[in-house]
Amino acid sequence: MRKWVYLARRLALAALVLLSVSIITFFISRVVPSNPAAKWVGPHPTQEQIAQARIKLGLDKPLYVQYLRYMEDLLQGDFGTSVRTHQPIIEDLKIYLPATLELVVVGTIMALVIGIPLGAISGAKKNSLVDHLSRLLAIAAVSVPVFWMALLLQLLFFGKLGILPLGGRVDNAISLYHPVQHITGFYLIDTLVTGNWPAFRDSLVHIILPAFCLGAFDTGLTIRMTRSTMIEVLEEGYITAARAAGFPERTILFRLALKNAIIPTLTVVALSFAYAITGAILVEVIFSWPGLGRYVTEAILGVDFPVIMAVTLVVTVLYVFINLFMDLLQAFLDPRVSLD
């Protein structure tokens, strides 16, 4: 019963956050000097065309009426229409959002695969050479600017070695001769399900560099969090008892200690996952990745407020519900966590 009360309270708080974000973004879009009606008509509009566009877009109504209409459409899953492309925003999101999510998911998987073992070994061998090297790697990963890292990796792996592509999601030749069949929007999954192996291999090599750049911060964070919690867990009484009972050190580290040490790490990484969706903007621009970051960048440059508002709401929804999911998961995995 207590869990259901907690869930209801958190959902109500999430709804309040989303309502607040919608109000703020809506009124900012009306305060910032711009002329969406003129952008809707196109270059060199006449005053009559602008007046007709204002009526079509509902800009001739009072602000509160515009907001209520906006919320009514939003509750029906209608994010509006881009004033720049005249395309329904929801259709654009179906294309750009999966591309960003795939990039973030692969980057997070890289961070966990690299960060958890290094952090666990670093914590188990405190103040050793391995520990010092792992901590140095973690500091570098969270400190190096992502755009600088991206440019260096492009220079090395594309410019010097020529083994990885400069950018994009797939090569033009693959798009022409082995087009990806859109099922989930995740190219790695779609090509795997349909058996499109040339496109799968090409998608895989294209995602390595941008995913590595995006996951670098999470890698450093994972190493540091896992190391810190491993050091704490290894000082617990049950670990001392296990060693006294003669358990192998590998069993103690990876089956007893890591099981409890990993919970705070997963919570922080999950929140970083949601944050990385917004942090993908620079990576997507540098690597010409057709995702949400690049989409909203073009919207900002074109002062396309309906798109900016839609992306802001989508990212807020993802962040809020990932946060809620990890709170519930942590409470489920660790009975010591209270839901009060």
> Would you say residue 41 lies in a domain?
no
User: 124 lies in a domain?
Assistant: yes
**For residue 17, pLDDT beyond 60:** yes
Among 57-66, 138-147, 305-314, the range scoring the smallest mean pLDDT is 57-66
Please tell me the distance from the alpha carbon of residue 255 to that of residue 19, in angstroms, as a whole number: 44
pLDDT of residue 194: 92
* pLDDT value for 230: 87
Q: How many structural domains comprise the chain? A: 1
Q: What percent of the chain has pLDDT over 70?
A: 94
Q: Is residue 293 part of a domain?
A: yes
> Is residue 1 pLDDT above 70, yes or no?
no
Asked if residue 214 lies in contact with residue 129, where contact means CB atoms within 8 angstroms, the answer is no
pLDDT value for 267: 75
Share of the chain above pLDDT 90, in %: 19
Q: Could you tell me which residue, 261 or 114, shows the higher pLDDT? A: 114
Q: Can you give the pLDDT at residue 154?
A: 93
pTM: 0.84
Contacts of 96 (CB under 8 A, 6+ apart): 290, 291, 292, 294, 295
pLDDT 10s digits, 236-281: 788 788 878 877 877 777 777 877 777 777 777 777 777 777 778 8
Of the ranges 17-26, 49-58, 187-196, 312-321, which one carries the lowest mean pLDDT score? 49-58
Would you place residue 331 in the very low, low, confident or very high pLDDT band (cuts 50, 70, 90)?
low
Structural domain for 220, as ranges? 95-333
Mean pLDDT, residues 291-317: 85
334 or 128, which is more confident: 128
* Average pLDDT, integer, range 86-103: 90
The pLDDT tens digits for 95-107 are 899 999 999 999 9
Is pLDDT at 339 greater than 60 in this prediction? no
Q: Is residue 64 part of a domain?
A: no
Indicate whether 168 belongs to any domain.
yes
Say yes or no to pLDDT of 211 above 90: yes
Identify the band that residue 205 occupies on the pLDDT scale cut at 50, 70 and 90.
Answer: very high
Residue 307 maps to which CATH number?
1.10.3720.10
- At 153 the pLDDT is 92
Whether 324 is covered by a domain: the verdict is: yes
Per the domain annotation, does 303 fall within a domain? yes
pLDDT of residue 327: 72
* 89: in domain: no
In tens, the pLDDT along 41-67 reads 777 777 777 787 777 777 777 888 888
